[in-house]
Amino acid sequence: MTVLAEILAGLGLLFVGLRIMATHLQQATGRKVRRLLRGATRSPLAGLACGTLAGLATQSSNAVAVVCGNLVRGGVFATRDAIPVVAGGNVGTAGLVFIAAIDFRLVVLYLVAAVGFTFHLRLDRRSAWREWMGVGLGLALALLGLDFIKHGPADIDVEALAGTLSAGITPLLAFGLGFLASAVTQSSSTPTILVVALIQARLLGLHDAFFLVLGANLGSGFAVLISSSGLAGTGRQLCYVHVLVKVAGCLLVGAAFAVLGAAGADPFALLAGAGGGTPTASVSVLFLLLQVAGALPVALLRGTAEAIAMRLSPPTVEDDAARPRFIDAQARQDPATALDLAERETLRLLHQLPLLLPDLDGAEAGDAQVRLGTWRGGASVALAVDHFLADLIAHGMPRESLRIALHHQSLLETVRTLQDTLHDFTEVIEGFEDVPPLGFNLSEALRAIVLSLADAAGAEAADLDIIITLAGDRSELLNRIRRQLAASALGSDVDTRQLLFATSLFERAVWLVRRIAVALRTPDNEAKREASVAADTDLKRVEADAHRA
């Protein structure tokens, strides 16, 4: 029981350490990694090299695939460009297996001590140090877990268990055990590390280890498909690429061993020689061979890999909505052009706003999945534009351009808030089995106002003035409706509470529409801005007169 507890504790420390290390490393180098991956699209080999570095740093091919998936959905590069990077991420994970094959116990102890002293001295008060200290802590825990795993089997009766294993493990069973272990741990490197520990304890031979590692490699690919079952479209395409890397690696290495055996050579002797006669090093070399053998053909034949992935997971409505149409990293060299592109992207988001609301007056209210995909895609585009503006500001620009960029950031934040408000309002309206008359009227009125905003976006100032008037203050009317609803049901009816919530969301959405119209109405030069403020004051006076009437 002590041996089992030590191995399980080691696995737990390994999982926690890798998670902590990946999280803090992403915080410390997130933007740098993204820039590195964006520059990796020049050639398949460049992408493979960048992916290998990213996989080596994070020790997680899944993390590399997730970052690439977000960049693909954000339109930074296409699935075709991301394929070599994802393939290289698998190669980078071999670093952990090589570390497990060497004796690093003394290094682990000193690393744990160093991390502990840095926290004791409160060096984490500086944000830059805090993230790297987190990386050190994660690495220390992961290495400590590896040490537990390696030394756990030391107390096992070697001769008895070795006899049982040699008599009971067939190549097919070993392959199945490796497949199952990787499916449970969601990793091919973790079962391989366990194999290294068993070999070090002289409980396993190189022949059985070969089939265990082969099964673990293949099983991790299908484990990714299971864990990503909720994804669709481009978000799932890179998961299929991950599977292709694993399948290709297993087929090529397995075929090579079969051909060598048929030719009269001893492939296991060759593998032992590649590891310098050390079985643990031979397993590490085998794991690396599997990753390289799978990554190279997939990266070099990325067009074929993309076609297979797109056939298995075609793009969805959300993917199309989540892809920016105008902003481009190269446009940052010219701030004026970059700001125009950001404005066009924001106007496109405004034109999509009516798609977030159901058309209750039509024959069909519309597809709820399309609305959900449009909302998620619009949120991704808004975030991409926000990052684009932040990078633009960080690179420096003239004072007037800076003022426009800050103004546009404020407008974009309002648009993002309106997107979420319309989505919440739609969910409330769709929550009714039969939409009550008040809910119907609120939905149609809001849809008319949003349609007017979408039509007026980018149009003449007079059209925006109409929107500003149309979206005037309705707080008195809405408060009267709330009081009537509260008095009619005393807050006990579910539909009444939903209507009250819908009323609040309606009021918020109208206020946001007016704020966006005012922001769009604001000219880009200070002289015209004063006239705009005066016009806005006149409109408020007209609205006040209307309310008094």
* Residue 414 to residue 425: CA distance in whole angstroms: 16
SS3 327: coil
Assigned token pair, 522: 């604001």
Position with higher pLDDT, 123 vs 515: 515
Torsions phi, psi of 153, nearest 5?
-75, 5
* Residue 165 to residue 179: CA distance in whole angstroms: 18
Residue 248 pLDDT > 90:
yes
Query: 253 falls in which pLDDT band (50, 70, 90)?
Result: very high
Residues 6+ apart with CB under 8 A from 240: 225, 308, 309, 312, 313
Q: What local confidence, expressed as pLDDT, does residue 289 receive?
A: 92
Query: 524 falls in which pLDDT band (50, 70, 90)?
Result: very low
Domain with CATH 1.20.58 in the chain: 332-548
- With contact defined as beta carbons under 8 Å apart, do 196 and 284 qualify? yes
Which DSSP string do the residues of 266-311 spell out, in sequence order?
-HHHHHHHHTTT-HHHHHHHHHHHHHHHHHHHHHHTHHHHHHHHHH
Residue 417 pLDDT > 90:
yes
* Residue 149 to residue 446: CA distance in whole angstroms: 61
- How high does pLDDT run on average in the chain? 78
Q: What count of other Cβ atoms lies within 10 Å of the Cβ of residue 360?
A: 16
Residue 229 pLDDT > 90:
no
Report H helices in 395-474: 399-430, 437-456, 461-470
Query: 549 falls in which pLDDT band (50, 70, 90)?
Result: very low
* Residue 374 to residue 382: CA distance in whole angstroms: 12
At the top level of CATH, the class of 332-548 is: mainly alpha
* Residue 397 to residue 81: CA distance in whole angstroms: 31
- Across 366-371, average pLDDT: 76
Burial class (CB in 10 A: 0-12, 13-18, 19+), 37: buried
- With contact defined as beta carbons under 8 Å apart, do 341 and 331 qualify? yes
- Across 30-58, average pLDDT: 71
Asked whether the CA dihedral 356, 362, 366, 368 is positive or negative, the reply is positive
Assigned token pair, 96: 């952990």
Q: What count of other Cβ atoms lies within 10 Å of the Cβ of residue 151?
A: 17
Query: 412 falls in which pLDDT band (50, 70, 90)?
Result: very high
Residue 499 pLDDT > 70:
yes
Q: What local confidence, expressed as pLDDT, does residue 532 receive?
A: 44
* Residue 305 to residue 166: CA distance in whole angstroms: 40
Closest to 390 in 3D by CA, of 110, 34, 13, 37: 34
* Residue 74 to residue 324: CA distance in whole angstroms: 6
Asked whether the CA dihedral 251, 257, 260, 264 is positive or negative, the reply is negative
* Residue 234 to residue 228: CA distance in whole angstroms: 12
- pLDDT tens for 341-364 read 888 889 999 999 998 998 887 655
Residues 6+ apart with CB under 8 A from 238: 65, 68, 69, 72, 79, 82, 83, 86, 309
Assigned token pair, 337: 């052009």
Residue in the structure block whose two tokens are 């030391």: 154
Report H helices in 301-367: 302-312, 317-321, 335-352
- pLDDT tens for 134-169 read 777 777 777 777 677 666 555 555 454 455 555 557
Residue 73 pLDDT > 60:
yes
- With contact defined as beta carbons under 8 Å apart, do 3 and 153 qualify? yes
- pLDDT tens for 431-472 read 888 888 888 888 888 888 899 888 888 777 777 888 888 777
* Residue 454 to residue 435: CA distance in whole angstroms: 25
Q: Which H helix or E strand runs over 535?
A: helix 526-548
Q: From residue 454, give the alpha-carbon distance in Å to each of 423, 522, 526.
A: 16, 17, 26
- pLDDT tens for 157-211 read 545 445 555 555 788 888 998 898 888 777 788 788 888 878 877 778 888 889 9
How many helices (H) and strands (E) the chain has is answered by 24, 0
- pLDDT tens for 98-137 read 776 666 677 777 777 888 888 877 776 776 677 777 777 7
**25-32 contact pairs (CB < 8 A, 24+):** 25/57, 25/58, 25/131, 25/135, 25/138, 26/58, 26/63, 26/67, 27/131, 27/134, 28/128, 28/131, 28/132, 28/134, 28/135, 29/57
* Residue 309 to residue 82: CA distance in whole angstroms: 12
Torsions phi, psi of 490, nearest 5?
55, 30
Measured distance between the N- and C-terminal CA atoms of the chain, rounded to whole angstroms:
84
Residue in the structure block whose two tokens are 């293949």: 218
